[in-house]
Amino acid sequence: MIELVDIEKRFGDNVVLKDVTLRMREGSVTALVGPSGGGKSTLLRCINLLEIPTAGTVRIGEDSLRFHPGQKVGWASIQKLRRQTGMVFQNFQLFPHRTAIENVMEGLVTVLRWPAGKARERAQALLDKVGLAEKADAWPATLSGGQQQRVAIARALAPSPRVLLCDEPTSALDPELSEEVVDVLGQLAKEGTTMVMATHDLRLASRVAHEVVFLEAGKVVEKGEPAKIFGSPERERTKRFIATLTQR
């Protein structure tokens, strides 16, 4: 269970998230959609505490942290929660001086202190899972954008996180290459991987998500199953936004 209760995030006087409460069950996929600047990526980063909420509670499994304005949270507590998450970024963020398999191994060796042999075995299995077994020794610069993003997904999965967070995982890719990533994320969803993703990709959200959450101006406007949100949303603002996606 991932639970966000009354999450607020401010940057100075700018309120980016306001009173966001969401519960995401184990094994589910949640898609955060909405206009740019609506708070999707900030909310995602509040889950793994790359952004520290101004107020509210973040719970992952049995661990939770409560935030208050002006309160300092200990680094050990932040790390305990963060290590239960894996993050896939919009622009891959692979190490250019590491091969594909070395990118996947990096966190296991440097952070978790796994022996190199064990880390390599785990990394090879994950590259196989994302369809890149034959690219293990390739440099990122020689890979397509879709292949780089699949390596990034393998890297995020390496420490067996409780939840995989994806920030616009297909937005830097053309439609053909993004299909590769949608297929991989769809397979992970079928295997019961818990995921939360911020996306503008209607195809990704409709094919992979169990629940869609529409955010605007830092607030939850509407949420529900993809068929409901994309086919018959209740709120007029949601209808207008979905119309802009389907016209692309």
Question: What residue ranges define each of the domains in the chain, with the CATH number in brackets?
Answer: 2-84+164-246 (3.40.50.300), 93-160 (no CATH)
3-state helix, strand, coil in the chain (%, to 5): 40, 25, 35
pLDDT reported for residue 247:
63
pLDDT digits (tens, 9 = 90+) for 211-229: 999 999 999 999 999 999 9
CB-CB contact of 34 with 216 (8 Å): yes
pLDDT digits (tens, 9 = 90+) for 137-154: 999 999 999 999 999 999
pLDDT reported for residue 86:
96
CB-CB contact of 16 with 45 (8 Å): no
Is residue 10 predicted with pLDDT exceeding 60? yes
pLDDT band at 248 (very low <50, low <70, confident <90, very high): low
CB-CB contact of 24 with 47 (8 Å): no
Q: Which amino acid is present at 80? A: K
Closest CA to 158 of 191, 132, 125, 185: 125
Handedness of CA 82, 162, 108, 76 (dihedral sign): positive
Which residue stretches of the chain are H helix?
A: 40-47, 75-82, 100-110, 116-129, 145-157, 175-190, 202-208, 226-231, 236-246
Rounded to an integer, the average pLDDT of 107-114 is 95
Cα–Cα dist 92/151, whole Å: 8
Closest CA to 181 of 211, 226, 143: 143
pTM here is 0.93
pLDDT reported for residue 176:
83
Is residue 100 predicted with pLDDT exceeding 80? yes
pLDDT band at 182 (very low <50, low <70, confident <90, very high): very high
| Joined tokens for residue 148 | 């780089």
pLDDT reported for residue 221:
95
CB-CB contact of 203 with 33 (8 Å): no
